[in-house]
Chain A
């Protein structure tokens, strides 16, 4: 057992989750594969969305995977960084918009 919580080599073992729950695991991977196929959105656009979400979720495996995937698709560094800013803006916006809830509560409680 690794002494670290995350090990980059573990990403390659992702498929093994099916070993302990075959049906659910296979359903997940089928769904996952289908999601990333070309559709109304291009596979390239989906890769950039995945990269942004990988950062907001702070998943090191996903960041490794979708950084490489972006490079493979010819996505530039500038495009990748802009995508991450979109994620960061939503993440910080989502934090700040709760400020309204705080303000509502303050207004309700204060005389």
Chain B
């Protein structure tokens, strides 16, 4: 299996190197406007948070897959895992937050040894929408995970899973050999206990990321194609498809540079800039918490190590009121969330 950029000591694993690439070149020589310049045109600078709705917690960067486009640079060799102490700090926040959605992510969040305990404790807080971002293959990776579908059902977890395409070739190319077949099996198991069925409260949504240097197409059209193909070929049902743009950071940035697509991709993002998407950017209603408890405006800023611009930077000092008073940190990667119909962890935003 391929190693993470970090394990390979790849230059791009260094977040300051990524920031350097994003800030220089075509943006420094004026060929393309910076994101700050662009949002200033519509008086949206500085970007400010609205009401907090989603707490997204990263339980660790360890994963059983090494996807080509992964913005986390996750993989089996990543050892960063949230400790019980940090989990307890998160639980204190979950109990008192105004946010209605809790979104657990990774890596493969299920690989955190205290994942189940954390889900059980967090679900007691009565969060309205409790999301676990599952890569699907983890359910079939090892016997100890076989009961995950029943565990999710017991706690009424909303399962959101990645599925880049309805064909084996495209999925395996992005996510690794054998991922497609295992994902299909996992989806069938989730369907078998009621997940994703029409009218079912057991929510099962899929995430589509383009498998290359191009932007996602119309979310609804893609959802229709996915539904038709997965139903016909594998008798699989799911609720919604979230079309998410690949942001030019981490492994996807490495791919863009290596394949000589970086400049064209940035041009595509800037050309597709949609000011209406700025209004609903996920960083305006989300807080991202890293495995070690630091706070970020979004998952992407977390991966670039851009901590919130606030006195409160760590979960141990959490103060929602103070945090709501911050300016959101932006850079050129933000164009990924404002292209076309916009992009967020919940799909399109405009």
Contact = CB atoms under 8 A, between A and B. Distances in A.
B221 A72 contact: no
B331 interface: no
A12 B221 contact: no
A74 B271 contact: no
A71 B225 contact: no
A5 B23 CA distance: 33
Nearest to B271: A12
Interface stretch (B116-124, B196-204, B208-216, B282-290): B208-216
B214 A43 contact: no
A73 B218 CA distance: 7
Interface of A: 12, 42-44, 68-69, 71-74, 76
A13 B325 CA distance: 42
A39 B167 CA distance: 27
Given A12-B271, A42-B221, A43-B221, A72 B214 contact: yes
B267 A74 contact: no
B212 A71 contact: yes
A29 to B, nearest CB: 14
B329 interface: no
A71 B209 CA distance: 12
B245 to A, nearest CB: 10
A42 B217 CA distance: 13
Contact of B222 (A68, A74, A76): A74
- Dominant SS at the A interface? helix
29 contacts: A12-B267, A12-B271, A42-B221, A43-B218, A43-B221, A44-B221, A68-B214, A68-B268, A69-B217, A71-B210, A71-B212, A71-B214, A72-B210, A72-B214, A72-B215, A72-B216, A73-B217, A73-B218, A73-B221, A73-B222, A74-B165, A74-B208, A74-B217, A74-B221, A74-B222, A74-B225, A74-B226, A76-B167, A76-B170
Size category, B interface:
10 to 19
A38 B165 CA distance: 23
Contacts of A76: 167, 170
B336 to A, nearest CB: 14
Nearest to A76: B167
Contacts of A71: 210, 212, 214
Given A12-B271, A74-B225, 12 more contacts: A43-B218, A44-B221, A68-B268, A71-B212, A72-B214, A73-B221, A73-B222, A74-B165, A74-B208, A74-B217, A76-B167, A76-B170
Contacts of B217: 69, 72-74
Interface string B165-178: 10100100000000
A14 B197 CA distance: 46
Contacts of B215: 72
Nearest to A72: B217
Nearest to B167: A76
Q: Please indicate which of the listed interface residues B217, B221, B268, B271 has the most CB atoms of chain A within 10 Å of its own CB.
A: B217
A88 B41 CA distance: 47
A76 B165 CA distance: 10
B342 to A, nearest CB: 15
Contacts of B210: 71-72
Contacts of B226: 74
Contacts of B221: 42-44, 73-74
A11 to B, nearest CB: 10
A74 B227 CA distance: 13
A72 B167 CA distance: 15
Contacts of A73: 217-218, 221-222
